Amino acid sequence: MRITVNAAMTVDGKIATVSGNSKISSKEDLVRVHKLRSKSDAIMVGISTVLIDNPLLTVRLTKYKQKDPSRVIIDSCGRIPLDSKILKTASRIETIIFVSEGAQKQKIQSLKDRGAKVIVAGRKNVDLIKALFYLKKMGFKHILAEGGGELNWSLLNLGVVDKLIVTIAPIIVGGRTSTTLVEGCGYGTISDGIKMELNKVYRQNHGELVVAYSLNRFDI
């Protein structure tokens, strides 16, 4: 199973402003992202992305669409709103929500009633390795992760990412509390950091740079 992490960030490495605004990509870049989606079996995001952006996570901006990929939500406590766009469409687009044992049974049932598949993987937090094993057993071959900084950190830190694609927008937003491309605990030294190989760089019409890296990964 291949995992690609895709994100858009500002020159100063932010994927959202201090207020949570994450509308960074141009229309051209959004078309690129939707083409990526159309070639993926599933789109994975963390619960923070759902709570802040309320995304639909479908393919809309490309003619290459065959069907919408499955949506995979990492939601340890089962916090996804029942009126979110994802749950409103869960009866027609496969939606898989991974929760921990700490999620309330009543909420889990409510999610199932709306058409979502709910899988418990982990005690207090979702065990991503278990979640990925589940997805592999279910036949998924290519996962596109569009998560926030925490999910990006978790996937990269586990060593399960094949490719990292980042669009760098020509803008600076600053902010000590702004979300960066990769959050998490971080590494203590540069030498401990995740090593990547540059594969491709190209410029889009709005001055954006799209940078693609490959990584040595742990096979799920």
User: Got the DSSP string for 134-197?
Assistant: HHHHTT--EEEE---HHHHHHHHHHT--SEEEEEEES-----TTSPBSS-SS--SSGGGSPPEE
Task: Tell me the per-residue pLDDT of 75-123, one tens digit each, with 9 for 90 and over.
Answer: 999 999 999 999 999 999 999 999 999 999 999 999 999 999 999 999 9
Percentage of the chain surpassing pLDDT 90? 94
Average pLDDT score over residue span 15-26 = 94
Q: Is the pLDDT of residue 216 over 90?
A: no
> In the prediction, which pLDDT does 208 show?
97
Given a cut of 90, is residue 218 above it in pLDDT?
A: no
Nearest CA among 48, 58, 69 for reference residue 153: 48
pLDDT digits (tens, 9 = 90+) for 166-183: 999 999 999 999 999 999
Could you tell me which residues come within 8 angstroms of residue 107 by beta carbon, excluding any fewer than 6 positions away? Answer: 78
Domains of the chain: 2-215 (3.40.430.10)
Contact 57, 45 (CB under 8 A): yes
Task: Return the pLDDT at 80.
Answer: 98
- Per-residue pLDDT, averaged over 56-72, amounts to 88
Q: Mean pLDDT over residues 60-87, rounded? A: 92
Average pLDDT on 62-86 reads 92
C-alpha–C-alpha distance, residues 5 and 15, integer Å:
13
> Does 65 have pLDDT greater than 80?
no
Model's pTM, two decimal places?
A: 0.94
Which pLDDT band holds residue 145 (cuts at 50, 70, 90)? Answer: very high
